[in-house]
Structure 1
Amino acid sequence: MNAPTSQPAPAIVKFQVVQSGARGMKLIATGLLVVMAITFFTARAYEPVYPALGWIKAFAEAAMVGGLADWFAVTALFRHPLGLPIPHTAIIPTNKDRIGDTLANFIRDNFLVPQVVARRMHRLDLAGAAGRFLKAPRGQESRIRAGASRLIADLAESLGDERLGGIVKSATARRLKEMQVAPLIGRALAQAINEDRHLPLLEAAIRWLARTLDANESMIREMVRERVSWVLRLASLDEKLADAILDGLRKLAVDMESDMGHPVRARIEQELAKLANDLQTDAATRAKVERWKEQLIENESVGLWLDGLWQQARAAIIKGARNPDAVMAGELGKVIADAGHTLESDVRLKAAINQFARRAVVGMAASYGGSMVKLVSDTIRNWDARTITDRLEAAVGRDLQYIRINGTLVGGMVGMAIHALDVIGL
């Protein structure tokens, strides 16, 4: 089995192609200069025999001058011409650091100014673009859903279970401690009373009272017998007293269940209404409930319960995210699509998101613009002089060689113009 051949990176391939194109244009420009030199010497040799060759000699002579001048100028940008250390040549390698600083300052002064960034960001609709992306065309929503699911699963698995569980438990406990539960309970109880939703609970409590009496009849009789005097026991009146108490409690339970206006029932409802009010307004009652809440939160059993909830939630998240097509396909896809529709249709939400993004980017430009341009200058400083020279020459080499070609041709035409002036005696 043959080993797979390594493929060059796209950026390297592109650089090689550009470099090859620049090298071809360099050969053309140099070849044209050589042709002009041959033409000049040939015309010079045959000019005495054919005087008309003076025009060609003038063209070729001036073309050589123009071509050589432009060759020198182009070469001096990147290296010393012919390897000679002529002053003010090899401009780019010699001034690499200064060029990097100048480029960095140019970027900072023209692109990372907060006003410029804000003006540019004002024209961008990031929320709308995000909405259109989330409302992916049919066939793409599965890829978005799968990517989101993998991200959620990887995030849940990468975070330490023990540490993250402790963070979740601590955050939940802290949030519960900061929350004033007494007013919440009071408002909930008051609303339940106003809507008569407490009646099923009250009737269930009355029925529970009746069942408790029946289940504990022997215990009640024994309590009565122990507390009456020996005289009543001797006369067997303790049994009659116990029967009277049990019959009275049973009758009370039946009457309370059947009579909505029973005085005891009304008293219970009054106390419930008072409790709802005290939970919202009475400082002592609220403080007592908050103390009970803190004691409950600090209980070890509650901590274990919170741990169990976290473990179950984490396992469910990972399981669902790892198999989005089976578990979360419809729901997650619908949520993503709905989010996209909302971002596109809700004008206020879109404006708020765009404003937040604009302020965030402007703030980053103001706070970190200096660091960004320093990265540019430091990167250029760390580049090898040959590397930056080769890259810049490859990037603009074709255009520079066109300058040489144009210089050769323009020089030739100027030479012919000067020869024409000489012929007519000006």
Structure 2
Amino acid sequence: MRVSAGFDLAPPGLTRMRLIAGLLLVAMAVLYLVSRQFVPLHPIWGFVRAFAEAGMVGGMADWFAVTALFRHPLGLPIPHTAIVPRNKDRIGDQLASFLRENFLVTHVIARRMRRIDVAGAASRWLTDPAEAAGGRFRAGASKLAAQVLDALDPQRLGGMVKAAVAHRLAETQVAPVAGQLLKAAMAENRHKPLLDAAIRWAGAALADNEHLIRQIVHDKAGSVLRWTGLDETVSNKLIDGLKNLLEEMASNPEHPLRVRAENGLDILAWDLRFDPDMGARVERLKGELIANPAMQRWLDGLWEQARAGLLAVARDPERVMRGRLGEVLRQMGETLATDRRLATTINRFVRRAAVGVAADYGDSIVRLVSETVQGWDTQTITRRLENAVGKDLQFIRVNGTLVGGLVGLVIHGVDVALG
């Protein structure tokens, strides 16, 4: 399918030069007609006629050459005219080949990228004040990001994000990761504050539920115990014993129950990492958790919060830059400016990425250029090329007219001298 870009107006400079070249050719014709009448009166008019005659020939020849590039002169199908329309596809192929051979070459891109300081540009972008170029760029990029986020369908995008998160969670083997984390925490004694917190929670739960314990003992006790009031004594002894046990566990790191709890955690860490049955149980629990409607609602809320945060950042980047995030970004910019090793690493990574893109997608880019040019209709490519170089081609017509006239003067002068 041929794609037309519509009507491209000629630039004012091209129209003006066409008018000048055309008027100069007309002036030569008028001068030729006038000078012919005065040749018998004085020899000088012979030189004027020779200049005008040769100027007409040179102007007409260059008009034909310039016109033949883009169309048939006077609409006549003269061979080897309308060169651009007839060779449009070949021009696209050659342009694409030129781009591939001279620009999308890995060693050329690598050499060019060595002179580009991406880390330095990122540092200036992160540290420049709002009125600097970095601030203006941030404002423009933020406005564009906000428009893109507003234009996207929140429900559809949210569904995609939620599906991606759920898919990622489903693919992740939770048990080995949890076991490794638990093992690392126990190796650094980071599990002990967790045990202390569990003991304190048990103590608080016991204090809040003493009445339930007393009621249970009362209900389970026989009528004799209730009649004698021993059920209350049993309740007090039970509650006091549990309190003393929890206090001893809290104060004694080597308490036997604490040691058994740590052994249990150690076994759990091993089972999570190596026991297939434990891994299968964890995976089943994970699947049930992901499928739970409450989890789905949590993921929806998580996406909405993230989207609202992104919109807030995009709509007012300078406010964010004044906050803690802005301080972190500025510190990153300062680090890039001072840490040459990090800057070198980033620049090397960007250079390799650019070279990789050229190596992997260079042919696709070239094919895109070729197919785009081939997809233009002949009128479109003719107008675009003529608008691009037509002004200089009209200068050729002017020069051809004047140079032709000067050559005519020389020839007439030689003829007079020899005659």
Q: Kindly indicate whether residue 59 of structure 2 is the aligned counterpart of residue 71 of structure 1.
A: yes
Residues 214-252 of structure 1: CA deviation (Å, up to 9, x unaligned): 444454455456656778778876665555444433332
Contact 1:58 1:412 in 2 (8 A): no
Match of 1:4 in 2: none
Shift of the 282–379 alpha-carbon distance from structure 1 to 2, 3 Å rule, reads same
TM-score (norm 2): 0.78
Contact 2:118 2:347 in 1 (8 A): no
Contact 2:119 2:336 in 1 (8 A): no
* Among candidates 295, 302, 318, match of residue 295 of structure 2: 302
Match of 1:108 in 2: 96
Counting only pairs closer than 5 Å after superposition, residues 13-412 of structure 1 correspond to structure 2 as 15-32=11-28, 34-35=30-31, 38-39=34-35, 41-43=37-39, 45-46=40-41, 53=43, 56=44, 59-60=47-48, 62-77=50-65, 78=67, 87-88=78-79, 91-92=81-82, 95-113=83-101, 117-118=105-106, 120-125=108-113, 128=117, 131-132=120-121, 135=124, 139-140=131-132, 141-221=134-214, 223-224=216-217, 241-329=234-322, 331=325, 335=329, 338=332, 342=336, 346-361=343-358, 363-383=360-380, 394-412=391-409
Contact 1:76 1:88 in 2 (8 A): no
TM-score (norm 1): 0.77
Q: Using the alignment, how far apart are the partners of 1:359 and 1:275 within structure 2?
A: 46
Shift of the 409–81 alpha-carbon distance from structure 1 to 2, 3 Å rule, reads farther
Superposed CA RMSD in Å reads 3.9
Match of 2:4 in 1: none
Contact 1:152 1:321 in 2 (8 A): yes
Q: Using the alignment, how far apart are the partners of 1:204 and 1:387 within structure 2?
A: 76
The structure having more radius of gyration, on CA atoms, is 1
Q: Using the alignment, how far apart are the partners of 2:406 and 2:313 within structure 1?
A: 72
Shift of the 133–184 alpha-carbon distance from structure 1 to 2, 3 Å rule, reads closer
Shift, 1:385, TM fit: 7.7
**Structure 1 gaps, min length 5:** 1-10, 48-52
Contact 1:72 1:81 in 2 (8 A): no
Query: How many matched pairs?
Result: 400
Q: Using the alignment, how far apart are the partners of 1:336 and 1:134 within structure 2?
A: 8
Q: Which amino acid in the other structure matches residue 277 of structure 1?
A: W
Shift, 1:30, TM fit: 4.1
Shift, 1:23, TM fit: 2.1
* Identity %, equivalent residues: 28
**Structure 2 gaps, min length 5:** 1-7
Q: Which amino acid in the other structure matches residue 124 of structure 1?
A: R
Contact 2:47 2:413 in 1 (8 A): yes
Q: Using the alignment, how far apart are the partners of 2:226 and 2:76 within structure 1?
A: 132
Q: Using the alignment, how far apart are the partners of 1:142 and 1:386 within structure 2?
A: 39
Q: Using the alignment, how far apart are the partners of 1:35 and 1:150 within structure 2?
A: 63
Shift, 1:416, TM fit: 2.1
Q: Using the alignment, how far apart are the partners of 1:300 and 1:34 within structure 2?
A: 92
Contact 1:220 1:242 in 2 (8 A): yes
Partner SS for 1:112: helix
Q: Which amino acid in the other structure matches residue 283 of structure 1?
A: P
Shift, 1:309, TM fit: 1.9
